[in-house]
Structure 1
Amino acid sequence: MLHPSYTDLMKVVNKDVEEGESKIVNSRYSIVMATSKRARQLIAGELPLVPAKNGDKPLSIAIEELNEGKLKIMAENAEEEE
């Protein structure tokens, strides 16, 4: 079992969304895509945003970063606007 769970991660990502607004993340797919993209960045040499133990895999680090609120998932159309 994955710890934290997908539902826990979705709650962390959507915690700042006010009632009535659309959620940032509605599916597991969004969580998987965000963490895999961050893991690829870590593999490419970016520094972790959380303390990482020697031997931690990039995906584990990316999940921990998301769980601690160090990463922000943005909608695809929001990235194009910036």
Structure 2
Amino acid sequence: MAVVNSEVEEGEQPLVQSRYSIVKATAARAKEIIDARSIEEKVRKARIEAENAPKEKDKDGKKGEPKPLLTPEEARKLQIGTPLIDNADNMKPLSIAVEELYEGKVKIVGNGDDSEVM
């Protein structure tokens, strides 16, 4: 909690007053990382399938346009869920989220009764 509240000036109320807020924020960040990893896996499989599939041509003998691998929403999730620390490939998502919070790469932003990760 000291790391998260380190930017609060003296006399102000701390942003995080319970460990639950930290657990909730790191769990939300871990979910973003998990989503990004599943999208990366989907893209990897689609590329392998595209390489191994026979090249199809339309009626005119021209190659059809390849369909995009990602939807705009998936691209956004992939960007948000990319780990912000080095050497995160072999780490579990929750460990990455905790390390990002500890290093100050992500911050907990108070939002009324709820807190969210930025």
Shared fold (TM-score, shorter chain, > 0.5): yes
Cα RMSD of the aligned pairs, angstroms, is: 1.7
Larger Rg: 2
Unaligned 5+ segments in structure 1 are 1-9
AA matched with 2:109? M
Q: How many residues align?
A: 70
1:51 deviation in Å? 1.0
The answer to whether the Cα contact below 8 Å between 1:52 and 1:61 also exists between their aligned partners in 2 is no
Higher strand residue share: 2
Q: Aligned residues: percent identity?
A: 53
AA matched with 1:64? E
Unaligned 5+ segments in structure 2 are 37-80
Q: Distance in 2 between matches of 1:70 and 1:54?
A: 17
TM-score (norm 1): 0.78
Q: Bigger shift: 44-53 or 19-28?
A: 44-53
Q: Bigger shift: 31-40 or 69-78?
A: 69-78
